[in-house]
Amino acid sequence: MNILITGGAGFIGSNLANYHVGIGDAVYVVDDLSSGSLTNITDMRNSGHLEFTQADITTWSDLDKVVEWSDRIYHMAAIVGVKKVLANPRGVMYTNITGTERLYQAIAKIKPSTQVLLASTSEVYGFNPQVSFRETDDIIFKQSKSLRWCYAVTKLADEYLAGAFEQSNGVKTVIARLFNTIGPNQTGKYGWVVPQFISQALHNEPITIYGDGSQTRSFCDVRDTVRALDLLASTVAASGEVVNVGNDYEISILQLANLIKKQTGSRSEIQFIPYLEAYGVEFEDIFHRRPVLSKLMDLTGFKPRGRLEDTLDYLINIAKGIS
């Protein structure tokens, strides 16, 4: 099978590429490397099963040619990370919406039968007060001038674009709403909490929690995420559906910090930093973000395998240089 992964040198994309290279598919990765890295795909490029192009999805001249080649497309390309979103909201809105529209125009024109998986986000649920989210739950955004939500709005717009191209051109997409994926190649540079906490703990630096730490998240091992994405893309009944992808085990950020401190044997203190100090702007966070996974399980039989403690041990050993 010929696989195109946009944003494939990024964190999830590189793990997805590795999965498909591992089963012998031909994989084409395009990434502008704004947050991805060539080191994430070095071994795969040497395998002979992966081709890479550094390009911006909004202007890439070979898009039509590679879409024609592809049997399946995982659209992961987007500007992500809270710090990048706050620093460049115009870039987020342009890249995340224009890139998706341009890709779908090419698919509709050249090969509308292509299997397409669109990576969306749990952030689209916004301020819905539910303690856990189903795909049928309402999407709620507060009236606000804050640009913190522009990423979520762009991903919701991408979902609607996918629906519009299905209605008008027959391009069917499975939309995966991803919940807090963690794993190798993820960096704390743009605001991802687990690699940041692990680095701070291993260096016995203060573990910095934004806010009071009572906010909860559900973290999914990227190996489970990739397996779920592959199952969804391979399941005919999932085509045209919106599906949560993640792990439904929930933990507070303060509990996470203490768990990482314990598993690293760190002497780090835990420090609480107000959002305004952390981000330089007023910031309103979501208190809960836990997926209901029944739709994913019913469609594919998927169940998360990774325990958070085991994933953290794995990442801590990688950070220590232990194989």
By CB atoms closer than 10 A (0-12, 13-18, 19+), residue 138 is exposed
Q: Which of 19, 151, 190, 210 is catalytic?
A: 151
Distance (Å, whole) CA 23 – CA 236: 20
- 3 state SS of 77: coil
160 carries an active-site annotation: no
Can you spell out the DSSP letters for 46-61?
Answer: HHTSEEEEE--TTT-T
For residue 315, count CB atoms less than 10 angstroms from its CB and return exposed for 0-12, middle for 13-18, buried for 19 or more.
buried
**Orientation of helix 222-234 relative to helix 11-22, angle to 10°:** 60
Shortest CA distance to 204 belongs to which of 277, 293, 119, 269?
A: 269
Q: Are 244 and 294 in contact (CB under 8 A)?
A: no
3-state secondary structure of 223: helix
Active site positions, annotated = 151
